[in-house]
Chain A
């Protein structure tokens, strides 16, 4: 495999490409096999159209035959682009033949994905009046406590929902400015990043206090994305606006990042930790490249180099590394979704 050409040479046996009719942003990989076929994996793709009518499509990925199948009825409309999509993690496949998908837009919506149809389950709306709503920038599904979803909003708050009862568990004013991302650590601990440039950790048992573990070096530079290492809860990663660095944080030593991965040639758009290994993280950015990094115990003087790289055709906007398919990384760029073998 040569690395001298602009795009990585894709062999047909190690990647799958799906071309969507519209630009794709939100993406989710199911944690359970598809109800239709146990070998298939469901992937949800959300469109990005600057329009009221947007769509979410569910496609089935077969890792054995390396094919992707669409289903015309497994699709639904969404008002404005969904900012995030996520399947319920660790869903016991024996519990039902359907999968649960959550989408965030102006509200948090739950959908039941069945074999050949998608049924809307609920719309979780926190506002008392119909005039006001607080659009959501992101959410995270707690994988230890699957009835808990935390959402982040531009009204500086984070709301924790109990989706079984359909009520708000609690709401916190998390930051001084809009909150852009939220990630669960344990069952009752989550972290969020905001336009005020800070990463804060919250514990639902002590709602009076939060802990700032990092603030961007230039004050008020927004932090756009956050990822918490589920294999080793000490570590988190975040990316700053217009920055090509992936900042790795250790929650035990606040304010000082343990590593800054600076090998992207343009700003980073997405980060995700490896689901099966605590040392690996994948990042993708505007330089059309996706890097897999291995974090050493001791970093060399010149910084950390990535382990391996993949070059896509255009800026990579989304990255998903699912625990259900740890050998495959899903990326989205322009209107394509690709599954890459690790």
Chain B
């Protein structure tokens, strides 16, 4: 706060005073001193400034009692403080924002301009201050708001904040910039006058002793100090007292309008070259120790430098939301620092960063045409539009149609099951790793069961090499159809045989024939049965034709002979359709594995010789077998 500056207090305070006085005298809006940054060589940054423009309200967060003059000075301090706090909030978003006396809502546009200027840096040769410094000549810019951004990088800012005239002139290693919201026509004499004001003041301060009024160049100085001295009203200024003693008394009231008049100075003949240079040099020394007001402005730069690497590597992995936005901001700050003349971006970046908290509409820094407003409006909780249109009931109608119905428009005789159509060769079926846990488990088990069954099916069905579900099912269907066909064939063949055997009465021949048939049939029949037991082997047809003597008539008998687990069954019974099958059934029920079957049917009599092995667990009894066979063979 600009109260009580001590004697050994920093010289910059003088600068502020000078700026203050100057700008007040000429009744302009602000004065800024840009100086060479100590952190980054070759760059001009905001050093100090004074704000003299419109103020919306004097209200501050904390009520502070000050007199009117102090208030003015304080305003600049407050603005600086606000800038610092906002920058701090930006650079470390998680930290609590340091409280500032001012809060953003209370600022006018011009104050915003002043505030935002604090964030700017200029390379020598770039931007208005930069070029001023490099050329060493003052620059007067009228209609700053209409200037091209190449000429005046803050033209957009100026337009928004109604800053119309900007003047820069080099001064003691830096650049002094003055601005006003009115149009002031170019008048370099004013610049000169201001310079001498400054010049004089500097010299006075630097010397810090009584100034000889006499002398050539110093003459300028004395009167020029007049306005400065007024400051004694505000607060004690270094050495002001003794300065006062040296000076004439006709000190105009510094708060009065500027009257560049006879008492002020000798503008002409300022060949202030030498002295100016001197003073500049001195100034340089002094101001090189100048307090850079906040870590923030220089911190901003250093931080932006540090973050260049981050931006460039585009480390997306670790970015959280804030960082990304901030990084892009800083990217833009870097852009400016690297003097990409996208100054709009900088403006928006800073503005957006500053406004981030309060203004919800800022969507990241990529604004290209800020002139065109967005089609979107801020969302308000209760400002929702109630859809009055009567819906025809189906939500997401078009989306559903596209997903559910349109694909089936392409149907050209597709079956219902999607699997049949889509699955082709070499299709992967990833097993879904479920991370949810319990809910998925029964479903997965079900799927696994289905897969298992399909595998079994595959193994049962011959000649199917493909592993996918559809092929397995296809193969099974085919195989079943095949088998059905064969069974039908066999049955018709058997009928045929039956017919033949009945008509032809040549036993031997018939026998043989039927033998062959029988053997064939049995072979086939056996195949059927053995496939049930998954052992397609043991198809040995006992080629020995066991000639059982044909017995006529009442030789319905059954003989079961047993040798350990081997049973030989000789059976004769009246032939009827399916009797052979039934007998085989019974035998399998009795756990008898028939490995050889010979049968012939002659004259309505079925003669059967079966060699089988008992596969059951309990002890087999021939009697049981006989009984069972009797039951089957002789039932009608």
Most-contacted residue by chain A among B402, B413, B421, B432 (CB, 10 A): B402
- B430's contact among A11, A208, A317, by CB below 8 Å, is which? A208
Residue B383 lies at the interface, judged by CB distance under 8 Å to chain A: yes
Contacts of A6 in B (CB 8 A): 385, 388
A278 near B321 with CB under 8 A, answer yes
Stretch from B143-151, B359-367, B601-609, B611-619 that touches the partner: B359-367
Residue of B nearest to A310 (CB): B376
Shortest CB–CB separation between residue B326 and chain A, in angstroms?
11
Given known A-B contacts A172-B428, A172-B430, A277-B364, A340 and B435 have beta carbons under 8 A apart: no
Residue B534 lies at the interface, judged by CB distance under 8 Å to chain A: no
Stretch from A37-45, A90-98, A116-124, A131-139 that touches the partner: A131-139
B309-335 to A contact mask, C-beta < 8 Å, 1/0: 000000010011110110000000000
CA distance A314 to B385 in the complex (A): 12
B379 near A212 with CB under 8 A, answer no
Contacts of A65 in B (CB 8 A): none
Contacts of B364 in A (CB 8 A): 274, 276-277, 279-280
Given known A-B contacts A1-B373, A135-B407, A279-B321, A307 and B316 have beta carbons under 8 A apart: no
- A80's contact among B319, B410, B427, by CB below 8 Å, is which? B410
B316 near A132 with CB under 8 A, answer no
Stretch from B36-44, B55-63, B389-397, B562-570 that touches the partner: B389-397
Residue of B nearest to A107 (CB): B410
- B375's contact among A225, A296, A310, A315, by CB below 8 Å, is which? A310
B432 near A200 with CB under 8 A, answer yes
B422 near A209 with CB under 8 A, answer no
Shortest CB–CB separation between residue A251 and chain B, in angstroms?
11
CA distance A14 to B367 in the complex (A): 13
B13-52 to A contact mask, C-beta < 8 Å, 1/0: 0000000000000000000000000000000000000000
Residue of A nearest to B436 (CB): A255
**With A8-B377, A133-B410, A288-B385 given, can you name 15 additional A-B contacts, CB distance below 8 Å?**
A1-B373, A48-B402, A172-B428, A173-B423, A173-B427, A173-B429, A211-B432, A212-B436, A213-B435, A266-B387, A269-B396, A306-B379, A307-B361, A308-B376, A340-B374
Q: List 25 A-B contacts (CB under 8 A).
A: A3-B383, A8-B376, A48-B398, A48-B402, A83-B402, A106-B407, A126-B424, A173-B428, A178-B407, A207-B430, A210-B431, A210-B433, A211-B435, A231-B324, A241-B396, A242-B395, A265-B384, A269-B396, A277-B325, A287-B385, A297-B322, A308-B361, A309-B378, A317-B399, A327-B367
Residue A171 lies at the interface, judged by CB distance under 8 Å to chain B: yes
Contacts of A198 in B (CB 8 A): 432
Most-contacted residue by chain A among B375, B381, B399, B440 (CB, 10 A): B375
Given known A-B contacts A171-B427, A232-B319, A307-B360, A342 and B399 have beta carbons under 8 A apart: no
Residue A228 lies at the interface, judged by CB distance under 8 Å to chain B: no
B363 near A154 with CB under 8 A, answer no
CA distance A51 to B138 in the complex (A): 74
CA distance A10 to B376 in the complex (A): 9
Interface residues on B, range: 35 or more
Most-contacted residue by chain B among A207, A208, A279, A306 (CB, 10 A): A279
Residue B293 lies at the interface, judged by CB distance under 8 Å to chain A: no
Contacts of B385 in A (CB 8 A): 3, 6, 287-289, 311
Given known A-B contacts A1-B377, A310-B375, A341-B375, A327 and B428 have beta carbons under 8 A apart: no
Residue A227 lies at the interface, judged by CB distance under 8 Å to chain B: no
CA distance A11 to B403 in the complex (A): 35
Given known A-B contacts A208-B430, A210-B430, A342-B363, A137 and B375 have beta carbons under 8 A apart: no
Residue B502 lies at the interface, judged by CB distance under 8 Å to chain A: no
A212 near B440 with CB under 8 A, answer yes
B403 near A157 with CB under 8 A, answer no
Shortest CB–CB separation between residue A131 and chain B, in angstroms?
6
Residue A13 lies at the interface, judged by CB distance under 8 Å to chain B: yes
A23 near B398 with CB under 8 A, answer yes
A202 near B430 with CB under 8 A, answer yes
Given known A-B contacts A81-B402, A136-B407, A224-B403, A287 and B387 have beta carbons under 8 A apart: yes
Show the binding face of B for A, using Cβ within 8 Å: 316, 319-322, 324-325, 360-361, 363-364, 366-369, 372-381, 383-389, 391, 395-403, 406-410, 412-414, 418-424, 426-436, 439-440, 447
Residue of B nearest to A293 (CB): B379
Residue of B nearest to A177 (CB): B418
A3 near B421 with CB under 8 A, answer no
A156 near B422 with CB under 8 A, answer yes
B375 near A278 with CB under 8 A, answer no
Residue A70 lies at the interface, judged by CB distance under 8 Å to chain B: no
A4 near B383 with CB under 8 A, answer yes
B320 near A297 with CB under 8 A, answer yes
Contacts of A13 in B (CB 8 A): 372-373
Given known A-B contacts A11-B373, A173-B423, A297-B321, A231 and B410 have beta carbons under 8 A apart: no
CA distance A57 to B379 in the complex (A): 34
Contacts of B387 in A (CB 8 A): 265-266, 286-288
Contacts of A310 in B (CB 8 A): 375-377
Given known A-B contacts A135-B406, A215-B439, A327-B368, A277 and B324 have beta carbons under 8 A apart: yes
Residue A267 lies at the interface, judged by CB distance under 8 Å to chain B: yes
- A224's contact among B322, B374, B399, B422, by CB below 8 Å, is which? B399
